[in-house]
Amino acid sequence: MNILELKERHPKKFKATYRTWVEGEGNPDWNWYDSIIEDAVEVGKERGFFIDDRSNERGRTAFYFNGFWSQGDGASWTGSVNVHWWVEWLRANNKPLPFDDMQMLWLQEAWRNDYLSRTVRIGTHTFDSHSGSMRVSDSMDLTEGYSHRLEDGIFKGMDAEAFVIMFRKMFNGTNDIEEAALTAAREFADDYYHILEQEFEYLTSEEYFMERVADHEYDEEGNEVQAA
């Protein structure tokens, strides 16, 4: 009989065979997740999330995860968020923006006049892979002390220093921007953790087990018949 017939005729024997497989040869190879993390790197770039390259450290990117059994399990990454790129991706894909229309006007003008850096650095602890361990590791630069006036745009004629002062009030310095970027970075890590979890569950599932042993034969007592 084949594995499907074994499951139907000898369910207990099937369960024991499946359990033995999961604990032995069915345990996924150590690099089963490589393609998923590679996808995270490429998809992240499209969204403005740049995961650090760690190719000089055992060939790994700075995407970390552990799981999938305890409440503290999760995923995190180290790198940077290009906030401008991220916001433009949200717009292009009709996603909700983290800032209102007025804030967006000030952000765009700050970037256009090079008063505000576009990147937020994100750090994490490699020993704690949960996305909650991710932090802003380097604040955005906001230029101050300009003595000239804005030359064009919707704020044309406004004193540059006054613009920066008002900008800081609107965004709590740059904290509100950084927190929005951090939240998005954490959500991205969580999304890929779920993808990793689903893949692991599939690779250790009865469905996958039955695919892998589809050509195995079993006798009437449910014992595997060894190939000659």
Q: pLDDT tens, 78-122?
A: 999 999 999 999 999 999 999 999 999 999 999 999 899 999 999
Residues 73, 166 within the same domain = yes
Lowest mean pLDDT among 20-24, 69-73, 175-179: 69-73
Q: What is the mean pLDDT of the chain?
A: 89
Q: Quick check: is 227 in a domain?
A: no
| Structural tokens at position 227 | 């190939």
Q: Are residues 189 and 214 located together in one domain of the fold?
A: no
Residues 140 and 110 in one domain: yes
**Can you give the pTM of this predicted structure?**
0.87
Instruction: Give bridge partners of residue 43 from the DSSP assignment.
Output: none
Domain tally, the chain: 2
Q: What pLDDT does residue 33 have?
A: 92
Domain region containing 49: 32-203
List of residues 6+ apart from 214 with CB closer than 8 A: 2, 3
122: nearest Cα among 69, 182, 72: 182
Tokens of 33: 């997740």
pLDDT value for 55: 64
Tokens of 163: 């613009």
Whether pLDDT at 228 is above 60: no
